[in-house]
Structure 1
Amino acid sequence: MTAAPPLCLTVAGSDSGGGAGIQADLKTMLALGVHGMSVVTAVTAQNSLGVKGAWELPAEAVRAQYRAVVDDIGVGAVKTGMLSGAVLVETVAELLAGTAAPAVVDPVGVSKHGDALLAPSALEAVRKELLPRATVATPNLDEVEQLTGIAVTSEDDMRRAADAVLGYGPRWALIKGGHLAAHAGEAVDLLTDGAEEFWLRAPRHDNRHTHGTGCTLASAIAAGLAKGLEVPAAVTGAKEYVTGAIAAGFSLGGGIGPVDHAWRWHR
């Protein structure tokens, strides 16, 4: 009998187009050699052009899915994504508090197309309830500004933003600088726990098909943590994986296509 691979759980919304959300998470986990499991928090009607509709699941449905998986199968790491309202944020924060596994919190605020995925009323719950449960928090620059009020335009701003995010309680903050105009030729991220600082730099690929980038990166980090890697190693490996996935992103439909989660197999 073959032993089970490391176990990783995504708690996120469904993307019917398959580029982001739990679909991207599960593809990433498979590509990185861990067994992916899912708790669906919302269903979206979504394609390459944007989010056409979104329906939040009841808190009891989210709690039941989580308990069914964790109480029977167990989990090595948890990744959270779309939690659209305060009740779901509080529910998931409570579940994480009772789980010993590391947690990667991707505080999803808007979709790649600019569609709001987090109610403004839920922001305070993210700050006070969810981020304190995070081993790693992975906001992009728009989400950083939502959470902290800091508009990031430079690497010094990224440091200030990281300090502000760490003030909400996660052990590590990963500030994703992929949208930083000051670095036209590279994608720069900052990982810090307030004591150590790691600057992660990669070439910026001229490819508009980047749907699912944030979900993919957070899931790749969680996969590394499920394998037993320390946070800096998990994040470094995830950055390498997502950089390759962005480079291989492909056209789909009439809008923004997804990153290629299987790029290593194709190569």
Structure 2
Amino acid sequence: MSSAPSPAPRWAGRHRGWKLAHHLVPALVMAAFLIGLGAWALLLQSWLFGIPLLAFGTGTVVSLVREFRLDPDPVDPDPAPVTTRNGVRAATRFAFRRNSPAFAAGTVGLGVIGLVAALAAVGRFVLLHSGFERYWTVAGALVLGVIGFLILREGLRLLRIASAEQAPGVYLTRSRVVVFGPLGLDEMYWRDMESVGAANPRGRTPLGRRGPALIVLRGRRQDVGSSGNDGDAPHELLVQVEFLLADPNVLHTALLHYLAEPADRPELGTAAAVERLAVGR
């Protein structure tokens, strides 16, 4: 059995130790700022602003602790079933992070605190104050409400993934690639796939020197329609590298290999595929 080709690694390993701490400096500063601002608001007896700010700062600290506790060693791919649009299929899984339901529920609660505090601040201070002080209060409440809404939306997304029976990850089946993760559930047939690449979002490099933030599976452009246009834009299936517990280099190599070698796809979902990927590293 031939092994998958092994191109030069495009991604470095996850940050760990001091390098991880240095990478998270902006988040550490933000946590300290939120906690300090919340404590100051409580000293001024501004409960409607102090409590949510302390909650946001504490939530940031919890997220940072989770980053430090994350095992930096990659998780090996393994055979696992996946639910597709056409039923359950055998697949080789490359794991994504999976948050616990408790963490997801806590994130939802944090967002609710922000929204409730914003609404209460507007309802109370708009009636009690006038002039310039009223505008500052309303502006602060709006910022608090927007942050609370964004956190609530993220918490609901995490809760949907955490409560799903399907484990998040990238699944390679004989007929298609299925991605279930932060962007929801999406899939693409091998026959519709044109290329596999890696890229950063336009104007940003979220992972820095570690490597590209996205593995991009590009579909074939559709035929020209009867209206005479250039056809629909090709479908793209995106894999967010930052959420991968598996080695993105191994996933990228596997995608390239099985796209180029259709005769090897029947082994996906079996120990033979895992063996091939282990030999190809």
Query: After TM superposition, is the score higher than 0.5?
Result: no
- What TM-score do you get using the length of structure 1 for normalisation? 0.24
In proportion to residue count, which structure has more helix?
A: 2
The structure whose RCO (Cα within 8 Å, separation 6+) is larger is: 2
TM-score by length of 2: 0.23
Bigger-Rg structure (1/2)? 2
